[in-house]
A and B are shown apart, each in its own frame.
Chain A
Amino acid sequence: MKHLTLLLSSFLFLLASCAPQSPATLTIMTHDSFSVSEEVVKSFEQANNAKIIFLPSGDAGAVLNKAILTKDAPLADLLFGMDNTFLSRALEADIFESYNSPELKNISDEFQLDSSNRTLPVDYGDVCINYDKNYFSENNLVVPQSLEELTKPEYAGLLVVENPATSSTGLAFLMATVAHYGDSFTDYWRALKDNGVVVVDGWETAYFTNFSASSGRGPQPLVVSYASSPSAEVSPAGESLTASILGIDTCFRQIEFVGILKGTQHRALAEKFVDFMLSKQFQEDMPLQMFVYPVNPNAVLPDTFTRYAQTPSQSATLSPDEISANRDEWIRAWTEVVLK
């Protein structure tokens, strides 16, 4: 018995002496598509004596919803993954602490949509229409180059889009048309509908079930996806099977943000992690992990990106305030025209 007490107390002593060195835990809430290299995480953990826990919590909308509901007792220290279409909602809910990261000075102003620095840009991507190169060459069809051309009869039934009510990719494309056509965007969609546009619930279905150049061998050779997607559809001979249509306003820019959640117990560590996310090491890891572009201009893009992923010369954009004021109304009007 005495033996046991001795053992226990020495064990406790050991534990206590270890305590100051035991790593602090930092929790980061993300959307389900988040990914990062093991190596990169390890290097942060070792440099800062920290343990990182990622908490994938659904799609971007669900994550933000959960963070807002738990703002009195936050589940995490940081939240990554709301994009510019959800940004205003996040800022209105007032769930973030402001942080003026020294890394921000490198980052172009076009990404810094939140002047209060409560949310900091991490990556961006362009939602674009991808096309099946082979389909168009086999059928001697010219690839459409603008939103207008998509309503031409030769492209009838060839385009699949995502429902903006259920998919952020679909919402981005709807916003591209809003940016281009203004209030008359519904007329454009009516024309698209008359031309047999196919609507599905989300990107996975559109890309893998409906798109003809993906392994799903679907019926549509035109799909709303990302400018980076062609870099994943490269044949062994080194040729991409798909490409993006890079016309005026055919693409919509999505920017993803990170923020330090109010009520964090690890403010200093959280700041370090934000800096780390904006640093060259993390930014260079992102493209192949999540098929997005780094906001840090010093980050070098991987080979497949520079070779196969194209960046549009002019992406459509809308201000977060405009989006927040009208998003629901746009979706409602779209549903009325396209689905009813």
Chain B
Amino acid sequence: MNYTINHEDRKNTENQKILRVSVSQWLARSLLWLLPLTFLIVAFFFPLSKILLLTFNTSTLTPENLQITTYVLRFTFYQAALSTLLTLLLGLPSAVLFARYDFRGKSLLRALTAVPFMLPTVVVAASFNALLGQRGLINTISSFLFPLSPSTIHPSPFTLILLAHVFYNTTIIIRIVSTALSSLDPKMEQTARSLGADSLRVWWNVTLPLLRPSILAATLLVFLFDFTSFGVILLLGGSQFSTLEVEIYFQAVRQFNLPLAALLSIIQLVCTLIFSILYSYLVTRNSPQLAPRPTLLRKPKTLREKIFVTTFIFLLSSFFLLPLSSLPIRSLFRLEADRGQRAEVQYGFTTDYYEELFINRRGSVFYVPPFQAILNSITYASATVVLSLLLGFPAAFALAKPTSLEKILDPIIMLPLGSSAVMLGLGFIITYGKWLTSPLLVPFAHTLIALPFVIRTLQPAIASIPERLRQAASSLGASPFEVWKNIDFPILRRATLAAGTFAFTISLGEFGATLLISRPEYPTIPVAIERFLSQPGGLNYGQAMAMATILMALTVASILLIEKFRLPNSREF
């Protein structure tokens, strides 16, 4: 090397190089952000700011209103923190269970844990009642076993809220963390073990730190969901509790106090932003490198492992299976004899409710045949998967290698999760008016909610693609395609499946989307369930349970199907 080269010259060329790179980089970045940002602006920021500007005024800042706000805010924080903690307690070990161990009925169990995520709250409340209510399964069994001590379990509304949040959100932890865990390079743990660390120390010092970004991502999503909880609080809270989201709904829809609703919405948004900034700060500090091949799944070997696996299979199955099983049971059995008649007792098994689904008994315009509802749900869900992956991939790519631009954008993409569905819905109406009736808008509304999930699932995976391996591969003569196929693709495939499943299930469950848009045509399964439950009568109730069972079966089937794509991959190794 010639060190006598003119120092200034070298500096200049370097500067030019950096400049060139940054210009092309900037161009690439803008291209990546073009679609996702346009979408967020059109579907979120514009309508939301329009309604907030229209309704907010400083006159709402009265001591009385601020008192309501602090009171509600305190409860919102408290229940969200507690719920998230409980969800982590069940979710993290379960993620380990699914990522590391092989056991019978595993796919089914994992699919089951995802079912609550898309069940309408009314249905979840009904199934909880069937299990924990005064005349529910547990009390019936316990009074049968211990007839002398009629002590009935009677969980408080607050306990029910917490249980329901865990029931709904455990799947988020399982899906995100087990995806990351099964992508961890097993060599790291092996090395630690060969250096003499026992398995607990390996967990504490190696595995957990490596999982930090995904655990944080999952925790943030769960926390935001609990923080903006609406249906669960309303239905199970027995009217004593109010979160920000519930209070916004109450003020906007019932009290017509839009200025106060706007104030509360802004507070909820600011809180969301603070959590997201905190998250971005914590997570960008390190992201571990993942292996392109998954850890081998194995059967539990040591006693400790066996105890762990058995305990959690039991815990998960009883926690998820018992309440969920009440739906198919109630759709197929009359639980008690029709009373007031002596001769014929209508006990037991019946397919009436399913048969009735196919009949438009009242000749209503709003009747939807079950297959049509299924088809509508699947069509919307598929469109949501495509749309949210299309928008999520570029954003996740950009966020995975952050520049100063991404530092700002990173927390902002989480905001749709923290905005009040009611206010956003009103914003949609004043911004887009008659367009809102188009069924084409349904997948867009679903995508708005699914997008943060998709991005947060893809981003850690993309960030973890080991640059070293890629460089090594290409220096050994692998073509860019081969590099992509052997290194990027296996990691991305797993994350894409997880992200796609999120989008699919969010769309099937229609999270709050009914508040965002009105659509006279193409009702989905949740819409049909709500319609049955809005009228009295055993037949309506039975049909709602039958529809909910169909939704549940559809969910389990689609998740199992999606997992089929994953299986050939793990067999390869």
Which residues of chain A have a CB within 8 Å of any CB of chain B?
27, 32-39, 41, 53-59, 61-62, 65-66, 69-70, 73, 75, 89, 133-134, 163, 165-166, 198-205, 207-209, 212, 214-219, 225-226, 229, 232-233, 235-237, 239, 241, 288-289, 291, 328, 331, 339
Q: Which residues of A are found within 8 Å of B534, using beta-carbon distances?
A: 32-33, 203-204
Q: B538 touches which one: A53, A163, A214 (CB < 8 A)?
A: A214
Chain A's nearest CB lies how many Å from the CB of B128? 9
B362 touching A233 by the CB < 8 A rule? Answer: no
The number of residues on chain B lying at the interface, defined by a beta carbon within 8 Å of a beta carbon of chain A, is: 60
Contacts of A218 in B (CB 8 A): 129, 133-135
Within the assembled complex, what's the spacing in Å between the Cα atoms of A241 and B542? 16
How many A-B Cβ pairs are below 8 Å?
171
Task: Name which residue of chain A comes closest to B342, CB basis.
Answer: A237
In the complex, what residue of chain B is closest to A232 when comparing beta carbons?
B537
A contact residues around B235 at 8 Å (CB): 200-202, 205
Complex interface: chain B residues within 8 A of A202 (CB): 234-235
A203 to chain B, nearest CB (A): 8
Per the 8 Å Cβ criterion, residues 207-262 of B in contact with A are 234-235, 237-240, 250, 252-256
Of the residues A133, A235, A291, contact of B535 by C-beta under 8 Å: A291
Question: Contacts A69-B426, A216-B541; is A232 near B330 (CB within 8 Å)?
Answer: no
Inter-chain CA distance A207–B541, complex, in Å, is: 10
Residue numbers in A under 8 Å from B436 (CB-CB): 75
Q: A241–B239 contact, CB under 8 A? A: no
Partner of B362, one of A73, A75, A289: A289
Q: Which of A36, A56, A239 contacts B341 (CB 8 A)?
A: A239
Contact of B338 among A204, A236, A291 (CB under 8 A): A236
Residue of B135, B253, B536 touching A229 (CB-CB under 8 A) = B536
In the complex, B196 has a CB within 8 A of chain A: no
Instruction: State whether A75 touches B133 (Cβ < 8 A).
Output: no
**Contacts A202-B235, A236-B346 supplied; 10 other A-B pairs, CB < 8 Å:** A37-B363, A41-B365, A73-B433, A166-B254, A214-B536, A214-B538, A217-B133, A236-B338, A289-B364, A339-B240
Given contacts A237-B344, A239-B340, contact A217 B536 (CB under 8 A): no
Q: How distant is the Cα of A199 from the Cα of B364 in the complex, in angstroms?
A: 32
Question: Does the CB pair B437–A53 fall under 8 Å?
Answer: yes
Interface flag for B515 (CB, 8 Å):
yes
Q: B122 near A: Cβ within 8 Å?
A: yes
- Is B536's CB under 8 angstroms from A232's CB? yes
Query: Chain B residues near A33 (CB, 8 Å)?
Result: 534-535
15 intermolecular pairs with C-beta atoms under 8 Å apart = A33-B534, A58-B253, A61-B254, A62-B253, A62-B515, A66-B429, A134-B340, A200-B239, A201-B239, A204-B122, A214-B536, A214-B541, A218-B134, A233-B537, A233-B538
Closest to B434 in A: A75
Beta-carbon contact of A237 and B340 below 8 Å: yes
Nearest CB of A to B153, in Å? 13
Once bound together, how far apart are the Cα atoms of A176 and B341, in whole Å? 35
Residues of A within 8 A of B336 (CB): 217
Q: Residues of B contacting A57 with CB < 8 Å?
A: 518
The interface residues of chain A lying within 8 Å CB-to-CB of B255 are 328
| Cβ contacts under 8 Å, B338 to chain A | 235-237, 241
Distance in angstroms from A71 CB to nearest chain B CB is: 10
Q: Does B103 contact A (CB under 8 A)?
A: no
The reply on B269 being an interface residue by CB < 8 A is: no
A330 to chain B minimum Cβ distance, whole angstroms, is 12
Closest chain B residue to A332, Cβ basis? B255
With A58-B253, A70-B429, A166-B234: A199-B239 Cβ-Cβ less than 8 Å: yes
Nearest CB to that of A205 among chain B residues? B235
Other-chain residue from A199, A208, A219, A291 in contact with B134 (beta carbon distance below 8 A)? A219
Q: For window 467-518 of chain B, which residues contact chain A by CB distance below 8 Å?
A: 514-515, 518
Q: Which of the residues B335, B339, B540 comes within 8 Å of A235, measured between beta carbons?
A: B339
CB-defined contacts of A89 to chain B, threshold 8 Å: 256
Residues of A within 8 A of B250 (CB): 165-166
Which B residues lie within 8 Å of A27 (CB)? Answer: 437
B364 touches A36 (CB 8 A): yes
* Residue B430 interfacial (CB < 8 Å): yes
Q: Is the CB of A201 within 8 A of B234?
A: yes
A253 and B366 alpha carbons, distance in the complex (Å): 27
A89 to B, closest residue via Cβ = B256
Complex Cα gap A57–B253 (Å):
12
Q: Is B563 an interface residue (CB 8 A)?
A: no
Q: Which of B336, B515, B536 gathers most chain A CB within 10 Å?
A: B536
Shortest distance between the CB of B330 and any CB in chain A (Å): 7
A69 touches B430 (CB 8 A): yes
Is B455 an interface residue when CB atoms closer than 8 A count as contact?
A: no
Check B322 for interface membership: any CB of A closer than 8 A: no
Contact A65 B541 (CB under 8 A): no
* Choice from B122, B340, B430, B437 contacting A205 with Cβ under 8 Å: B122
A69-B538 Cα distance, complex, nearest whole Å: 38
Instruction: For residue A311, give the distance in angstroms from its CB to the closest CB of chain B.
Output: 17
The CA-CA distance from A41 to B339 in the complex, in Å, is 38
B147 at the interface (CB under 8 A from A): no
Residue of A nearest to B55 (CB): A69
Q: Are B129 and A216 in contact (CB under 8 A)?
A: yes
B530/A32 in contact, CB under 8 A: yes
Task: Please give the distance in Å from A332's CB to the nearest CB on chain B.
Answer: 10
Among A70, A201, A205, A226, which residue has its beta carbon within 8 angstroms of that of B433?
Answer: A70
Q: In angstroms, how far is the closest chain A Cβ from the Cβ of B335?
A: 6
A67 to chain B, nearest CB (A): 10
Residue of chain B at shortest CB distance from A52: B365
In whole angstroms, what is the CA distance A265 to B338 when docked? Answer: 53
Picked from A58, A205, A214, A291, the residue with its CB within 8 Å of the CB of B125 is A205
Is B126 a contact partner of A65 (Cβ separation < 8 A)? no
- A211 CB to nearest B CB, Å: 9
Report, nearest first, the 6 A-B pairs whose CB atoms are least far apart: A232-B537, A237-B341, A215-B541, A163-B239, A232-B536, A219-B134
Q: Determine whether B533 belongs to the interface, using a CB cutoff of 8 Å to chain A.
A: yes
Query: Is B520's beta carbon under 8 Å from chain A?
Result: yes
Which residues of B in the span 31-77 have a Cβ within 8 Å of any Cβ on A? none
Q: Please measure, in the bound complex, the distance between the C-alpha atom of A291 and the C-alpha atom of B339, giving whole angstroms.
A: 23
| Residues of B close to A214: CB separation below 8 A | 536, 538, 541
Neighbouring A residues of B531 by C-beta, 8 Å: 32
Q: Who on chain B is nearest to A171 by CB?
A: B254
Among A57, A73, A134, A291, the one with the most B-chain Cβ atoms within 10 Å of its Cβ is A57
Partner of B126, one of A35, A36, A209, A288: A209
Specify which chain A residues have a CB less than 8 angstroms from the CB of B520 in the assembled complex: 53-56
Q: How far is the CB of B473 from chain A (nearest CB, A)?
A: 53
Task: Specify the chain B residue showing the minimal Cβ separation from A203.
Answer: B534
- Nearest-Cβ distance from residue A68 to partner chain B, whole angstroms: 8
Shortest distance in angstroms between A89's beta carbon and chain B's nearest beta carbon? Answer: 7
Name the B residues within 8 Å of A239 (CB-CB).
340-341
A37-B253 contact in complex given A214-B538, A216-B129, C-beta closer than 8 Å:
no
